[in-house]
Amino acid sequence: MFKFELGSTVKSDLTGFKGVLTANCIHLNGCNRCYVQPKVDKEGKIPEAYWVDEPELVLISKPKVKRDKTEKPGGFHSKIK
């Protein structure tokens, strides 16, 4: 179980790194990690995203867009037989 919903805006209370939570991962040892993608910078470049330990994150705002959970995940390649 994860503390934050995908799409939430979060911030690391250790480094100040801030962005949108785009993926979650549970490691074998039980550590929850979150993939945080910063917003596009002033030049229009997409900054690099990072995996961050979930306990160091704080919620800034809840998701602005809800995922459509009616469609199964996996995309095109998972449907090829």
Q: What is the pLDDT of residue 42?
A: 92
Q: pTM for the full model? A: 0.77
pLDDT category at 64 given cuts 50, 70, 90 is: confident
CA distances for 51 relative to 48, 64, 75, angstroms: 10, 21, 23
Name the phi and psi angles at 76, rounded to 5.
-60, -50
Q: Model confidence over 21-54: pLDDT tens digits? A: 999 999 888 889 999 999 999 999 999 999 999 9
Residue 62, pLDDT > 90, answer yes
Residues 6+ away with beta carbon under 8 Å from 41: 47
Read off the tokens for 73.
Answer: 């995940």
